[in-house]
Amino acid sequence: MDSALIAAVRRFNRTVTQRVGALDDEYMAQGRPLGQARLLWEIGPAGAEVAALRTRLGLDSGHLSRLLRTLENDGLVTVGPVDRTGGDGRVRVATLTDAGRTQWADLDQRSDDLAASILAPLTEHRRERLVTAMAEVERLLIGSMVVIEPCPPGDPRARACLRAYVRDIARRLDDGFDPALSKPLHDDALAPPNGVLLLATLNGEPIGCGGVKLHRGEAAEIKRVWVADTVRGLGVGRRLLGELERYAAEHGATAVRLDTNRNLTEAIALYRATGYREIEAYNTEHYADHWFEKRLAQRGGDRSGAVAT
């Protein structure tokens, strides 16, 4: 990693934390540090499940419990089962008390005031530049928070992504999509040692997937690449593709292939931009109009010769 880039990120972080008051013992003069104030804000007037708060804020269970306990002791929050009349006691919900709602409203107003104080010294043109730059930084930071890792095809999150893939394909193809007409892809084809399914998550929620199917002595095959509309433009598809290529190379493949439909123009543009070349049809996939291949640089790793089914 370029040391100048690292230094620039650190300098930016220092400027932001100082400007928004994150270094103060009492964030926005509410008598509590930033972590407690942020948790109070995230609970909000509607309340929130504790598990969702943990995922959303990236906090470990112990730290979150300590923050919640402090807010409870201060009379701002109550924590209990979602259904106090006999439901699933494992699902806990944090709810603001009347005092908590009052402090939440005060925090909301103070946050508006802080934002206004940042914009006030600037000209109208510079305000627009700052807000535009902030939106771009936010977008890129969200992209950097996406986690991509292997996932069993039978995992409920993977199933949800694969169902979304089918819905998306059906919506975009001229004549819809009938899975019965498409070449079948069984779970074991995307599970080691035959291949892998990669799941992309943001704050613990699945937002994309992609698989690679290994073939001994032949090009590996990339399958079921899908990214949710909510994160399009964040580079998730390109990252997924790169990780699938890396997996294939590490397991002995010297090339990867894929097929796609003519209506999936963004995908076709991505493949061409990342070094894929169009080739003759290598399968009889009913919905395929284009076939692509990319040669891979050989990597070290498991070369045990996995065979796809």
pLDDT, tens digit, 9 for 90 and up, residues 32-88: 888 999 999 999 999 999 999 998 888 889 999 999 999 999 999 999 987 655 555
Of 214, 284, 276, 292, nearest to 247 (Cα)?
214
The answer, yes or no, to whether residue 304 has pLDDT greater than 70, is no
Alpha-carbon gap, residue 47 to 56, rounded angstroms: 14
pLDDT (tens digit per residue) in 139-163: 999 999 999 999 999 999 999 999 9
- State mean pLDDT over 110-125: 94
Q: In this structure, what token pair is assigned to residue 129?
A: 């530049």
Average pLDDT over residues 252-281: 96
Look over the chain and give the mean of its residue pLDDT values, rounded to a whole number: 90
List the Cα angle 283/277/190 in 5-degree steps. Answer: 50
5: pLDDT confidence band, cut at 50, 70 and 90?
confident
For the entire predicted model, the pTM comes to 0.80
Query: Which three-class secondary structure state does DSSP give residue 176?
Result: coil
Instruction: DSSP for 13-71, please give it.
Output: HHHHHHHTTTTSSSGGGSSS-HHHHHHHHHHTTT-EEHHHHHHHHT--HHHHHHHHHHH
Buried b (16+ CB within 10 A) or exposed e, 47-68: ebebebbbeeeebeeeebeebb
- pLDDT-based confidence at residue 305 (cuts at 50, 70, 90): very low
Give the max Cα distance, the chain: 69
Distance CA 101, CA 115 (A): 21
For the segment 77-102, what is each residue's pLDDT rounded down to a tens digit? 999 987 655 555 678 999 999 999 99
- In this predicted structure, the answer to whether residue 128 has a pLDDT above a threshold of 80 is yes
- pLDDT tens digits, one per residue of 169-203: 999 999 899 988 998 999 999 999 999 999 999 98
- Axis crossing angle, helix 50-57 with helix 61-73, rounded to the nearest 10: 120
Q: Which of 81-85, 132-136, 183-187, 237-241 has the lowest mean pLDDT?
A: 81-85
Query: With the C-alpha atoms ordered 179, 184, 185, 186, is the resulting torsion angle positive or negative?
Result: positive
